[in-house]
Amino acid sequence: MKQKLQIVTPVYNEEKNIEYTIVSFFDDLSDKGIELEFIISEDGSSDNSVSVIKALSEEYKVTLYSSKERKNYTDSVLFGLSKATSDIVAFVDSDGQYDPSDLMKMYKRLEKGTFVLGFRNPRVDSYFRRFISKSFRLVYKFILKLNLVDPSSGYFIGYKEDLQKVLQSFQSGYLKEGFWWEFYARAHYQNIKIIEEPVKHFDRKYGNSVVFKFTKLPKIAITNLLGLLRLRRDIFN
């Protein structure tokens, strides 16, 4: 009997990348005893993402939840994860930067009471993006006493019952620009073990990642610092 696995993916204006992401995972897992389904949380795209996904759903097992208006990454991810029904749930971003073959390595390390996080090794993002992430990781480690290699990675797998424990602790995310930082911290302090598995990381096939502008960095830094302090108070109280 095949293991049912749902992969949750948020989509915003990824018409050129989403087909590759979905098809590559189905192709890789087709002979590995996995009954795969994608759950797409589409977030008010202004391009042809919805049309592309609907066309793919005629050939592949893809469930689409579409929003007419833009929410944000955090709310889109939370919504998609809340729709998962399989015993084991994975997550991957829609930009095609992760290797589907790494998911089985993560799956083999999975146990109940754990999340397996795919840490990017090496990470191919720009030096500036990596510098910002590394700097924030030091603050994150100091405030939350949690030392992870890549707490901003959007590639993970876990059991639904553990996932639900974490989702129930979210009111509204404190770190709007850093959902996964908050997600893994909440998991850790609910005694869910975070296992980090090295995974390959690629450049986006099409388009550019959104990189914070220098002019916005002071506001973002203050917002995230306050978010970390609120998260610490929430977790430790």
pLDDT score, position 214: 55
Rounded average pLDDT over 161-173? 90
pLDDT in the model for residue 71 = 87
CA-nearest of 191, 148, 143 to 166 is 191
pLDDT of residue 220: 76
Q: What is the DSSP letter of 234?
A: H
Give the Cα separation of 160 and 134 in Å (integer).
30
- Count helices and strands (H / E) in the chain: 8, 7
Name the pLDDT band for 211 (thresholds 50, 70, 90). Answer: very low
Query: To the nearest whole number, what is the mean pLDDT of the chain?
Result: 93
pTM for this entry: 0.94
Q: Where does the pLDDT of residue 217 fall: very low under 50, low under 70, confident under 90, or very high at 90 and above?
A: low
Angle (nearest 5°) at CA 116 between 114 and 118: 165
Q: Max CA-CA distance within the chain?
A: 54
E-assigned strand segments in the chain = 3-11, 34-43, 62-67, 88-92, 114-120, 155-159, 193-199
User: Residues with Cβ < 8 Å from 176, sequence gap 6 or more?
Assistant: 72, 73, 74, 223, 227
pLDDT at position 41 is: 98
